[in-house]
Copies of this chain bind each other. A is one copy, B any other.
Amino acid sequence: MLQSGDFAGAGSEPVRSGVATPALLVDIEALDRNIAVMAERAAALGVKFRPHAKAHKCVEVAQRLRRAGAIGVSCTTMEEAETMARGGLGGILITSPLAAPWQLERLRRLLLRGADVMSVVDCEAHLLGLAAAARGAGRKVGVVVEMDVGVGRTGCLEVDDIVALARQAAASPDLRYDGIQAYWGNLQQIMPLAERARLVGVQMERVRGVLAALREAGLAPAIVTGAGTGTFGIDAASGLFTEIQPGSFLFMDSCYGTVDLGAGTRFEPSLFVAATVVSAARRGRVIVNAGFKAFATDSGLPGATIEFLTSHCDPTVNLYPAFHVVRGPDVVDRWPIAARYGNSA
């Protein structure tokens, strides 16, 4: 493989307008302002934050969040969890259930290496798998029972099932019952804000009922986790959550750009795709090397670089090997997107 250093002679890397494209740029100053706003908001709302690595997949970003007060890192995939553990991050919460033999074997190895890991579950098979992995590593693993709060994907719908799983986790010598997860990913971008709050309120009553049933059973959870960039203010203000797991606030893609997050919460775009004008054969239009998009503009001759906002940060980040970290016109660093899918397997 060619390494980026191979092209240093061309003088392209240190200058923002000269990066090889398509490239993913992150503006480090905007990123740091977004992190500072989230840290300040979480503190003001009285919740901890365990931001989601599915948004950034990058050790350097997770370490930056930890320095700003994050208590850990939420992860969707084994790649993300393994990458974060290698980067020295603790408080790893796997927010999607682990079911396959290879997932559980990789979890066993993570535990064996001393990683600080919890995973969500929504059925007994998940619990048994986690317990076997933990037993194989000679260490307990944390369990967070997931509620289905209307997303219709993973999670238990019935209160009784949640209590039963919590009880079983608490009773297992291989498991540590840590709490519950209630994440309404489908409500994050509902507009207007009042309607979003109303829909969240409906699910919040269900969470309240689950918490009452767990307390009743002597299983009051240490952790109640959930929330994304679109609802963390509402969720945290309920007093039900002990922590939040937003991710998109780091980058603020164009999907989030028009979402009202409430007074006092202002994040800014920090993520951009740089593309090159490859053809300008027709007047008033240029063709760039980023997907099949053509833009009504005459602002570039072939060879020029144009930067675009991203429409959905998570899958966009997954398409790139690294962030080009920019400050003004300069490329000041390069952060590998080390947990990009497939980098570790």
Contacts and interface: CB of A to CB of B under 8 A. Distances in A.
A188 interface: no
Given A2-B82, A153-B292, A294-B152, A123 B343 contact: no
B294 A99 contact: no
A330 B318 CA distance: 29
Given A123-B302, A156-B281, A281-B154, A10 B100 contact: no
Nearest to A305: B100
A96 interface: yes
A157 B281 contact: yes
A214 to B, nearest CB: 18
A5 B161 CA distance: 38
B7 A106 contact: yes
A278 interface: yes
Interface stretch (A199-207, A249-257, A319-327): A319-327
Contact of A276 (B1, B103, B106, B154): B103
Contacts of A318: 319
Nearest to A161: B281
A258 interface: no
A63 interface: no
Identical subunits present: 2
B276 A148 contact: no
Interface residues on A, range: 35 or more
Interface of A: 1-2, 4, 6-7, 9-10, 12, 18-22, 77-78, 82, 96-103, 105-106, 109, 122-123, 125-126, 129, 148, 152-157, 161, 276-282, 287, 289, 292, 294, 301-303, 305, 318-322, 338, 341-345
Contact of A154 (B101, B279, B305, B319): B279
Given A100-B278, A320-B342, 14 more contacts: A20-B100, A77-B289, A97-B279, A97-B302, A126-B302, A148-B281, A148-B282, A152-B282, A152-B294, A153-B294, A154-B281, A319-B342, A321-B343, A322-B342
Given A20-B100, A153-B292, A345 B319 contact: no
Contact of A10 (B105, B148, B294): B105
Contacts of A106: 2, 7
30 contacts: A1-B338, A1-B343, A1-B344, A2-B106, A7-B102, A7-B106, A9-B105, A10-B101, A19-B102, A20-B100, A22-B341, A96-B278, A99-B276, A99-B279, A100-B278, A100-B305, A123-B281, A123-B302, A125-B303, A148-B282, A153-B279, A153-B287, A153-B292, A153-B294, A157-B281, A161-B281, A319-B341, A320-B342, A321-B345, A322-B342
Which 9 pairs between the two chains have the least Cβ-Cβ distance? A321-B342, A99-B302, A154-B279, A10-B105, A100-B276, A99-B303, A20-B102, A12-B102, A2-B344
A319 B341 CA distance: 7
Contacts of A341: 22, 319-321
B2 A101 contact: no
